Amino acid sequence: MVGTGTPSDMPAGPPLPDVPTLRPRPAGAPKSPPVRRAGQGVVVDCAVYVDGRRQTPVPPEEALQAAVAQGGFVWLGLFEPTEEELTAIGERYGLHPLAVEDAVYAHQRPKLEHYDDGLFMVLKTATYVEHEQLTATSEVVDTGEVMVFLGRNYVITVRHGSHSGLAELRARLEEQRDLLCLGPSAVLYAVADLVVDTFVEVAEAVTDDVDELEASVFSPERTDDIGRLYQLKRELMSLRKAVGPLEVPLQRLAERQIDVVPDAMRSYFRDVQDHAIRVRDQVSGLDELLSSILQASLARTTLADNEDMRKISAWAGIIAVPTAIAGIYGMNFEHMPELHWRYGYPLVLLVIVVACVLLYRGFKRNGWL
């Protein structure tokens, strides 16, 4: 952490800003800063917990001092803070400036970073976008992020994305006093568990789309599903990027000794890690299945094109007979077979019909028609 003093020794610092103020994007920043709706504050909720119980509400500016004085911790929930807002909060809580920068400009990969006596964890969130029918442009998976700052007397959650609300999680967690008694790391566990459970729901919903595409590709009717398959594969990649890298941070929390994570919490993080591994395997299986379905669709399209070409070639061969005969007799030579015979014209027509019928039967027998 920046500074060597304990949280109780830290100065009060400037008050937390409630009105969003956008600052210029620093050089090399990966994305634009977040923009909230007008009138929407940065602080979603702020509470002090002592012995697993939520205490009398205190202003965010006094929450940390109150938590230290009572031997508890503060849970500060933020929604898409700007650089100025999070910097002010970081100065109050002693957050590392690099972690603050990552939390402001989002679009990070899941990771866990250790700064002195604190942790900074990034989790990608995901939600399934409902749609009546999957098309080549459908949005299937929408992603967001939750960043968690963890210290001895505080936990700060920073959300990016409207679908990753933590209000219900906070309410459920407040009913589990035994878990909250384990400290701020219990909040980190609850957030990680919620994120992974959401991955399970999204993966199950995507499985339905995969099953629908599989049935469409192998249906008797001719369908063009390549565009839809490619789009679903791209959307599934977003879910893979959210699930895959999460295994390593959870493994560190479950196996390594970390000051701000009690030993009693390791089994909880190990359980979340097991769930994350199962989701990762499920998503990988869906991706492999989509690849197989895509190859099958391409093979079926190629086979259908070959069948069309054989039919076209067969009909072209049949039409070539009357075309050739008519072309020969159209040369207007004086000496040609049966040119002046009374039944020459009907005979030529009969020859054309017989030849076409024989060719048709031959192509039909060989499966070209």
What's the CA gap between 279 and 78, in Å, rounded? 28
- 321-341, pLDDT tens digit by residue? 888 878 877 777 776 776 677
pTM value is 0.74
Q: What ranges in the chain are assigned the alpha helix state H?
A: 60-70, 83-93, 97-105, 167-174, 177-180, 184-217, 226-243, 247-255, 266-329, 344-365
307-365: what fold?
Methane Monooxygenase Hydroxylase; Chain G, domain 1 (1.20.58)
Contact 61, 16 (CB under 8 A): yes
- Quickly list DSSP for 87-100: HHHHHHHT--HHHH
Contact 210, 288 (CB under 8 A): no
Q: Evaluate the CA torsion angle 80, 82, 85, 89 in order and state its sign.
A: positive
- Quickly list DSSP for 17-75: P-S----PPPTT-SSPPP-PPTT--SEEEEEEEETTEE-S---HHHHHHHHHHHT-EEE
Q: Which two tokens stand for residue 178?
A: 């035994």
Task: Give the residue range(s) of CATH 3.30.460.20 domains in the chain.
Answer: 7-301
Q: Which two tokens stand for residue 7?
A: 């949280």
Task: Give the residue range(s) of CATH 1.20.58.340 domains in the chain.
Answer: 307-365
Its CATH architecture, for the domain 7-301, is: 2-Layer Sandwich (3.30)
What's the CA gap between 228 and 155, in Å, rounded? 42
**Measured distance between the N- and C-terminal CA atoms of the chain, rounded to whole angstroms:** 78
- 340-352, pLDDT tens digit by residue? 777 777 877 888 8
Q: Which two tokens stand for residue 241?
A: 């990027």
C-alpha separations of 227 from 134, 217, 284, 362 in Å:
10, 12, 20, 38
Q: What is the pLDDT along the chain (369 residues), one digit of tens a residue?
A: 333 333 334 334 444 444 333 333 334 444 444 445 444 578 999 999 999 999 988 888 899 999 999 999 999 999 999 999 999 999 999 999 989 988 988 778 899 999 888 899 999 999 999 988 888 888 999 999 999 999 999 999 999 987 778 999 999 999 999 999 999 999 999 999 999 999 999 999 999 999 998 888 888 777 778 888 989 999 999 999 999 999 999 999 999 888 889 999 999 999 999 999 999 999 999 999 999 998 888 888 777 777 778 888 888 888 888 888 788 777 777 767 766 777 777 877 888 888 888 888 887 888 777
39: left (phi over 0), alpha (psi -120 to 50) or beta: left
* Beta-strand pair 73-79/118-128: unpaired
- 102-134, pLDDT tens digit by residue? 898 877 889 999 988 889 999 999 999 998 888
